[in-house]
Amino acid sequence: MTSADYLHTAFLLAKRANSKDIRPNPFVGAIIVDHHGIIIGEGYHQKAGEAHAEVLAINDALQKNSDLSNSTLYVTLEPCSHTGKTPPCTNLILEKRIPKVVIGSMDPNPLVSGAQVLADVGVAVEICIVPEIVELNSTFNINQINRRPKFILKAATTSNGKIADRFGNSKWISNSKSRAFVHQVLRTNADAVLTTAKTVIKDNATMNIRIDQAEAKELNLIIIDKQLDILKEENKELGIFYKRKETKIYLVTDKIVDHKLPENIEIINVNMHKEQCDLNKLGATLLQKNICEILLEAGGKLNTSFIKEKLVDELNLFICPSVMIDNNGINIFNSNEQQVFENSIQLSLIETQTFDNDIFVKYKVLY
Q: Which residues are catalytic?
A: 54
- Taking the CA atoms of 225, 198, 142 and 271 in sequence, report the sign of the dihedral they define: negative
Beta strands 314-319; 358-366: pairing state: antiparallel
Distances (CA, A) of 293 to 138, 174, 235, 332: 10, 23, 28, 21
Contacts of 10 by beta carbon, 8 Å cutoff, 6+ apart: 29, 30, 31, 42, 44, 53, 74, 75, 76, 104
Report the DSSP pairing between strands 72-75 and 100-103: parallel
Bridge partners for 347 per DSSP: 365
Peptide bond into 24 cis (omega under 30): yes
Burial-class residue 284 by CB neighbours within 10 Å (0-12, 13-18, 19+).
Answer: middle
Give the CA diameter of the chain.
72
13-to-40, 129, 141, 215, 312 alpha-carbon distances in Å: 14, 17, 19, 29, 29
3-state secondary structure of 341: helix
- Rounded Cα distance, 147 and 281, in Å: 10
Q: How far lies 21's CA from each of 50, 143, 145, 193, 303, in Å?
A: 10, 16, 21, 18, 29
Residues 6+ apart with CB under 8 A from 180: 211, 212
Asked if residue 154 lies in contact with residue 185, where contact means CB atoms within 8 angstroms, the answer is no
What are 273's strand-pairing partners?
A: 276
